[in-house]
Copies of this chain bind each other. A is one copy, B any other.
């Protein structure tokens, strides 16, 4: 698949940070940034920008706050064309904390929003746009939120926002490719002047397949992470996406090296990937919260009990 508009968007440090409270060593982030730059990936998202009034830097690592100075230090001296992104959650960032783009190492700001918060998300992206950033709105938990409010939200984004990309986010890893096809078509019927993006979760081993499906139907911004790192089952493995795309600008080799040198040992320290309780969350269209709690308990392999507890709570 070669379509020049396609952008490969890495979110290794950002989504990976959700499993270690964003405590990545500076050298590790630098190694990721360097390898991705050499691979000619288009964007890399290094974390969240959160208000330090809401979260304590004692409890969370630097990549939950992504101060411009911290980012500058990590990328310093590395020859790179890759664009840098940070993510913000609705109501968790002070707009005044975001300087104009030309004073910041950040190129893009992505706003993660539920359908119900889309007015706030639009207000935010318009502010960031005015400051010179590229922007996206990432509509989370889409598998649970497909009523008429979704179409209203999309129409509003199209009319009222200056956003560049609108993302379908399969937060629960519960979409199958037919639902991805339908969602991309539905997004495209409202969103005419902006790009569509897709961010998969791998609970049912469908993040890569669903990303391919999104590409086929016209999504051009594609999220992935190195070795699939990310919350719960993780994301679309970036190396598979690069292997699939035929654009000769991409080079998979620096990513292979990075996995050899950094990610095999990291996976022994923190857990992500195909793990049955996450698969159960995905097939039952549930937030992985309960499964993540299970994995931190002494019942981590009690799959049947976990399955039945979710089925039962749905019946309540």
Contact = CB atoms under 8 A, between A and B. Distances in A.
A94 interface: no
Contact of A276 (B204, B256, B273): B256
In this complex, the member of A178, A205, A210, A253 whose beta carbon has the largest number of chain B beta carbons within 10 angstroms is A205
Nearest to A240: B204
Nearest to A254: B304
A27 interface: no
A250 interface: no
A212 B177 contact: yes
B176 A283 contact: no
Interface residues of A, number: 40
A209 B205 contact: yes
B303 A240 contact: no
Interface string A270-310: 00011010011001000000000000000001111001100
Contacts of A244: 176, 204, 283
Interface of A: 176-178, 202, 204-210, 212-213, 216, 227-228, 237, 239-240, 243-244, 252-253, 256-257, 259-260, 264, 273-274, 276, 279-280, 283, 301-304, 307-308
